[in-house]
Structure 1
Amino acid sequence: MRIVTAGEIAATLSYPALVEALADAFRADFTVPLRHHHPIPQAGGEPEAMLLLMPAWTPPGEGSYVGTKIVSVYPGNGTRSLPAIYGSYLLSNGQTGAPLAILDGTTLTVWRTACASALASRFLSRKDASHMVMVGAGALAPHLIQAHAAVRPIRQAAIWNRSRDKAHALVEGLQGLVPNVRLTVTTDLQAAVEEADIVSCATISAKPLIHGGWLKDGAHLDLVGGYTPAMREADDAAVTRASLFIDTRTGALKEAGDIVDPIRRGVVTEAAVKADLFELCRGRHAGRTSEQEVTLFKSVGTALEDLAAAMLVWRSLPV
Structure 2
Amino acid sequence: MQTLLLTDDDVDENARMDRVIEAVEGAFTAYQRGDAQMPPKSYIDLPQHNGDFRSMPAYLDTGSFEAAGIKWVNVHTDNPTDHDLPTVMGTMIYSDPTTAFPLAIMDGTTLTMKRTGAAAAVATDHLAIDGARSLGIVGAGVQSYTQLEAIATVRDIEEVVVSDLDEERTAAFVDAFDDRFDVRAGSISAAGHCDVLSTVTPSTEPIVGPNDVGDHTHVNAMGADAAGKHELADDLLLDAAVVIDDHEQCTHSGEINVPYAEGTLGDDDVYGEIGEIVVGARAGRSDSDGVTGVSVFDSTGLAIQDVATAHVVYEQAAAADNGSPFDLLGLDG
Give your verdict on TM over 0.5. yes
Partner residue in 2 for 1:118: 121
Distance 1:282 1:241 in 2: 25
Partner residue in 2 for 1:237: 235
Partner residue in 2 for 1:307: 307
CA deviation after TM superposition for structure 1 residue 243, in Å: 0.6
CA deviation after TM superposition for structure 1 residue 262, in Å: 1.4
What SS class does the counterpart of residue 140 from structure 1 fall into?
Answer: helix
Partner residue in 2 for 1:273: 270
Distance 1:151 1:279 in 2: 19
What SS class does the counterpart of residue 245 from structure 1 fall into?
Answer: strand
Per-residue CA deviations over 1:137-184 (Å, capped at 9, x if unaligned) read: 1111100011111111211111111111111011222355xx2x2111
Greater alpha carbon shift after TM alignment, 24-33 vs 80-89? 80-89
Partner residue in 2 for 1:106: 109
CA deviation after TM superposition for structure 1 residue 23, in Å: 1.2
Distance 2:62 2:302 in 1: 20
CA deviation after TM superposition for structure 1 residue 21, in Å: 0.9
Partner residue in 1 for 2:22: 20
Partner residue in 2 for 1:226: 224
Partner residue in 1 for 2:245: 247
Q: Is the CA contact (8 Å cut-off) linking 2:121 and 2:154 kept in structure 1?
A: yes
Distance 1:3 1:175 in 2: 34
Distance 1:16 1:306 in 2: 15
Distance 1:78 1:121 in 2: 32
Question: Are residue 30 (structure 1) and residue 28 (structure 2) matched?
Answer: no
Distance 2:200 2:277 in 1: 22
Q: Is the CA contact (8 Å cut-off) linking 1:60 and 1:94 kept in structure 2?
A: no
Q: Is the CA contact (8 Å cut-off) linking 2:284 and 2:290 kept in structure 1?
A: no
Q: Is the CA contact (8 Å cut-off) linking 2:117 and 2:150 kept in structure 1?
A: yes
Q: Is the CA contact (8 Å cut-off) linking 1:132 and 1:154 kept in structure 2?
A: yes
What SS class does the counterpart of residue 293 from structure 1 fall into?
Answer: coil
Per-residue CA deviations over 1:214-257 (Å, capped at 9, x if unaligned) read: 2111111111011112011011111111110011123112221x
1:136-215 matched pairs, under 5 angstroms? 136-176=139-179, 179=180, 181-186=181-186, 188-193=187-192, 195-215=193-213
CA deviation after TM superposition for structure 1 residue 190, in Å: 2.4
Q: Is the CA contact (8 Å cut-off) linking 1:60 and 1:95 kept in structure 2?
A: no
What SS class does the counterpart of residue 58 from structure 1 fall into?
Answer: strand
When normalised by structure 2's length, the TM-score is 0.87
- Which blocks of at least 5 consecutive residues in structure 2 are unaligned? 322-333
Q: Is the CA contact (8 Å cut-off) linking 1:67 and 1:89 kept in structure 2?
A: yes
Provide the aligned C-alpha RMSD in A. Answer: 2.1
Amino acid at match of 1:316: Q
Amino acid at match of 1:295: S
Partner residue in 2 for 1:286: 283
Greater alpha carbon shift after TM alignment, 6-15 vs 141-150? 6-15
Report how many residues are paired: 309
- Which blocks of at least 5 consecutive residues in structure 1 are unaligned? none
Amino acid at match of 1:2: L
When normalised by structure 1's length, the TM-score is 0.91
